[in-house]
Structure 1
Amino acid sequence: MLPQDFHPVLQRWWETRFREPGSGRVLPPTEAQLEGWRSIRTGQHTLIAAPTGSGKTLAAFLTSIDQLLRESLESGQLPDEVRVVYVSPLKALSADIHKNLAEPRREMRRIAEEMGSQPVGITAAVRSGDTPQAERAAMLRSPPHILVTTPESLYLLLTAERSREMLRTARVVIVDEIHAVLESRRGAHLALSLERLDHVCGRRLQRVGLSATQKPIEEVARFLVGSEESDCAIVDRGHQRRIDLEIEVPGSPLEAVMSGEVWEDIYKRLVELIESHRTTLIFVNTRRLSERMAFRLSERLGAEHVAAHHGSLAKEVRLEAEAKLREGRLKVLVATASLELGIDIGHVDLVCQISSPHRIATLLQRV
């Protein structure tokens, strides 16, 4: 059950949505959620570090949704203005979060009406490179309460006058999978955009960061709030996982440039693994290899059972691949980093990494 300081509509929604299969018992919030909510409610900058599946996203969003819900029910309506900016390093993750916000908002609206309250009109929209021009224009005319975007799109929003005006009302900025950009140029670029966002709003926004477990976690917190500020609550709920890990080397001699014979050994072994599992996710390091490997595997397994996924594919192609994976209609999906960051990908019982991912944290994120 939710803490009592959440609105009764949210209490009822939690009891309806989170039940144990079979017994029907209401599932309690995770420790990461409880600690995160306590910190976020105080207005303090907060970093939540916990593994996938621990409810980090709900920990970040629910306090803001509670505030929007209360304002909507008390005043009868909410002004069309951005209150929460959610930043994800991947377009796929942004689209996934937007989809996962849609159903709870519909359920909350229904529950509010059942309890005799005014309809709840909390809106959300995605602004990324995939967003059609018509939707971008509509967003400027009627801003959403929750804006879901990427670091690059946030930079563009901060550059144009009309979109800067849309961002001025923001109160909270949530940065998901923050560890994925920490040591890259994207991270430096995002840090600059967060400071520019504060400048546009004319005040220091509350920052909420979500991260996989990292060491030292204090470095991630400093990146989130800026090196000059130390006021950041850290909720570190990482734990050790047991992983069934195997390292396999092709039987043919390895050379500086892998020969066709080596690749045949790799494809043969992959087919054996894929056919002995329900759904397999293969990570590669380049988009070119993603396409090539998907093609070679489709020759052996059938085109309807194999798909590729990377950032240069058309939006429709990527979304179709993600849907097929979620619904169990694919035997194997060959992806780059475009699918590694906490996206809802359904049941996957085998993960393969081709070649070194170069960073231990990247490998742990993928498996």
Structure 2
Amino acid sequence: MDKIFHEKIISWFNNQFNRPSAVQIQAWQVIEKQRDVLISSPTGSGKTLAAFLYGLNQLFVKGDDGLTILYVSPLKALSNDVKINLEQPLDDLNQLFPEKNVRAASWTGDTTPAERNKIRKKPPNILVTTPESLYVLLTSQSGREILKNLKTVIIDEIHAVANSKRGAHLVLSLQRLEALCYQRPQRIAISATQKPIETMRDFILHGENSEIVNLGHKRELDISIEIPQSPLSAIMSNEQWSEVYQRLCEVIAEHKTTLIFVNNRRLCERLTKNLAEKIGEEFITSHHGSLAKEHRLNAEQMLKSGQLKALVATASLELGIDIGDIDCVCQIGS
């Protein structure tokens, strides 16, 4: 780290963490060379900080004005999570560099018109967004204006959109960014373990000037499939659902925190209501796209802080969010 980061950044890092992880060390060596990089490693290995820290170092040392780091995530929940997780490091580093005032903001479908106007008038140094919101920014004159000074684009959970129309649209937006910006932004992509990883790299990065940092490995999992004891039919009976509710209550009681995934919002609310009647509504809540932004953010924070025994969610919570000490995941009807 000594040759890459300012001594104050190193001091802050050492106070927060024991040592850099293997993926962080390798990623920083590539990022410092201004080469595009795809970072692939398991959850909890420090990928996000590996992607952000060099850019933060440049902001605090060189003091670039305006928006220089763009973080793109396929989910609003993940964008919100990253924005919140940036607040404390930025507070700490702004105190270490009192002459600076590095700021972060988010621009998603949940961002209010007032917040968007504030971003337009005084762009933050770091903007957290989604592929769709990036597309919208690129279609407006004011949006293009605040994106012109970008130095770094971080694309998280790229494996989730790579083989879809969303992925194709995202790559198109990244190409439009290159044409717009005063200098080509460095791309830092983050992915779960994938095979072949080279395919993912070729999709999102320029192969001739890119590298892969791949420390992926599979973790041991305890997996089981359970079905109701009563005979199954095309439509589950109330008796069978009662068995499901009872078994879920047992699972929740056996673990510290349980995350329950369902296929649709209606089932999400139905499960939450029935389980709340059994374990107490203060210990469980729901998370899906139709809920208010405040409810979703509160649910994520309660889950991270350990206040919930269980959370029932749709795919709105499935990608890369820092959701604390989860020790059991259930999938209903999957």
Structure 2 length-normalised TM: 0.96
Q: Report how far residue 230 of structure 1 moved.
A: 4.0
**Cα deviation code 1:123-168 (max 9, x no counterpart):** 1110011111111001001011111101111011001111111111
Q: Report how far residue 178 of structure 1 moved.
A: 0.6
Q: Report how far residue 259 of structure 1 moved.
A: 2.5
8 Å CA contact 1:12, 1:111 repeated in 2? no
Pick closer, same or farther for the CA change 1:185–1:35 going to 2, 3 Å. Answer: same
Query: Which residue of the partner structure matches residue 127 of structure 2?
Result: 147
**Which residue type is aligned with residue 347 of structure 1?**
D
- After TM superposition, the structure 1 = structure 2 runs for residues 1-367 of structure 1, keeping only pairs within 5 Å, are 2-18=1-17, 27-72=18-63, 78-79=64-65, 81-112=66-97, 118-201=98-181, 203-225=183-205, 229-356=207-334
Runs of 4+ aligned structure 1 residues displaced above 4 Å come to none
Q: Report how far residue 105 of structure 1 moved.
A: 1.2
How many aligned residue pairs are there?
334
Aligned-partner Cα distance in 1 for 2:4–2:323: 33
Q: Which structure would you say has the larger RCO, counting Cα contacts within 8 Å and 6 or more residues apart? A: 2
Query: Which residue of the partner structure matches residue 361 of structure 1?
Result: none
Aligned-partner Cα distance in 1 for 2:323–2:58: 30
8 Å CA contact 1:283, 1:335 repeated in 2? yes
The unaligned stretches of length 5 or more in structure 2 are none
Q: Secondary structure at the match of 2:188?
A: strand
Q: Report how far residue 43 of structure 1 moved.
A: 1.0
8 Å CA contact 1:130, 1:315 repeated in 2? yes
Aligned-partner Cα distance in 1 for 2:332–2:281: 21
Q: Secondary structure at the match of 1:333?
A: strand
8 Å CA contact 2:268, 2:313 repeated in 1? yes
Q: Secondary structure at the match of 2:221?
A: coil
Aligned-partner Cα distance in 2 for 1:275–1:184: 38
**Cα deviation code 1:183-214 (max 9, x no counterpart):** 22211121111111112215432111001101
8 Å CA contact 1:178, 1:210 repeated in 2? yes
**Cα deviation code 1:49-97 (max 9, x no counterpart):** 001110000111111111111113xxxxx42x11111001111111111
8 Å CA contact 1:222, 1:230 repeated in 2? no
Structure 1 length-normalised TM: 0.88
**Which residue type is aligned with residue 105 of structure 2?**
A
8 Å CA contact 1:93, 1:343 repeated in 2? yes
Q: What is the Cα-based RMSD across aligned positions, in Å?
A: 1.5
Q: Report how far residue 350 of structure 1 moved.
A: 1.4
Aligned-partner Cα distance in 2 for 1:335–1:3: 43
Q: Secondary structure at the match of 1:257?
A: coil
The unaligned stretches of length 5 or more in structure 1 are 19-26, 73-77, 113-117, 357-367
Q: Secondary structure at the match of 1:188?
A: helix
**Which residue type is aligned with residue 290 of structure 1?**
C
Aligned-partner Cα distance in 2 for 1:320–1:63: 30
8 Å CA contact 2:260, 2:330 repeated in 1? yes
- Fraction of identical pairs, as percent: 51
**Which residue type is aligned with residue 272 of structure 2?**
A
8 Å CA contact 2:24, 2:49 repeated in 1? yes
